[in-house]
Amino acid sequence: MSRIMMWRNVETIRSRSFVCGHCGSPIASEKGYAAYYPDSSPNRAAIMICHRCQYPTFFDEGGNQTPGITFGQPVSEITDKAIAAIYDEARKATGAGCYSAAVLACRKLLMHIAVVKGAEEGLSFIAYVEYLSDKNYIPPDAKGWVDHIRKKGNEANHELTIMKKEDAEELVSFIEMLLKVIFEFPAQVKRKYGKDGDSI
């Protein structure tokens, strides 16, 4: 993300604490642009400027934030660019309230992860989920999630069902855990203890 150096005619307005939807920083900003209404309504829309990345965040008169806060945490050491990009999409979609899109992205992510870890291309979604489970990429105590993801993924893809916030957040949280187990934690162990972790 490129840095914006200066905004013209920025005002000092009522301070607002929020998490920037662009850079993810928790901030309190008093710089931006306020909307004023003829009826002197106490609820005002505003565009707040993040003092870290300088990008704007819009708040409507109901306090709704655009862009929304990206859900979940970033995962480092993901070696496949497509997986990293789709995970980022799923997090942003959840933060933006696009819950069905987020669930479908999680479904696609599981298929990508399975192929990167050795599954054949062109298999069914359930075959990929079972592959990850059978190859022990999904921890034993988390295998109940396999059926849950299969069900939600199929609902979002094949049925006239609108996914809810909790559906998307659950699946993104599961994917986050899975990516950390598959990519982030092994890379950290190798970096600390050597290729085979034989100093542990």
Same structural domain, 114 and 179 = yes
In a domain, 20, yes or no: yes
Contacts of 100 (CB under 8 A, 6+ apart): 156, 162, 163, 168
Same structural domain, 47 and 138 = no
Same structural domain, 85 and 110 = yes
Taking the whole predicted model, whether its pTM rises above 0.85 is answered as: no
CA angle, residues 69, 92, 59, in degrees to nearest 5: 35
Same structural domain, 131 and 46 = no
Same structural domain, 46 and 89 = no
In a domain, 5, yes or no: no
Average pLDDT per run of 10 along the chain, which is 200 residues long? 76 92 91 80 83 93 89 94 96 92 90 95 87 87 73 66 88 93 91 65
In a domain, 46, yes or no: yes
In a domain, 85, yes or no: yes
Q: What is the pLDDT of residue 62?
A: 86
CB 29 within 8 A of CB 51: yes
In a domain, 1, yes or no: no
37, 65, 34, 36: which is closest to 47 by C-alpha?
34
Same structural domain, 115 and 183 = yes
Total domain count for the chain?
Answer: 2
Same structural domain, 171 and 86 = yes
Question: Range of 24's domain?
Answer: 11-66
Same structural domain, 113 and 34 = no
* DSSP conformation letters of 24-75: --EEEEEEEEE---TT--S---EEEEPTTT--EEEE-TT--EESPPPPS---
In a domain, 58, yes or no: yes
Same structural domain, 59 and 130 = no
Q: Hey, how many other C-beta atoms are within 10 angstroms of the C-beta on 36?
A: 8
Same structural domain, 31 and 114 = no
Structural element, H or E, at residue 18: strand 11-19
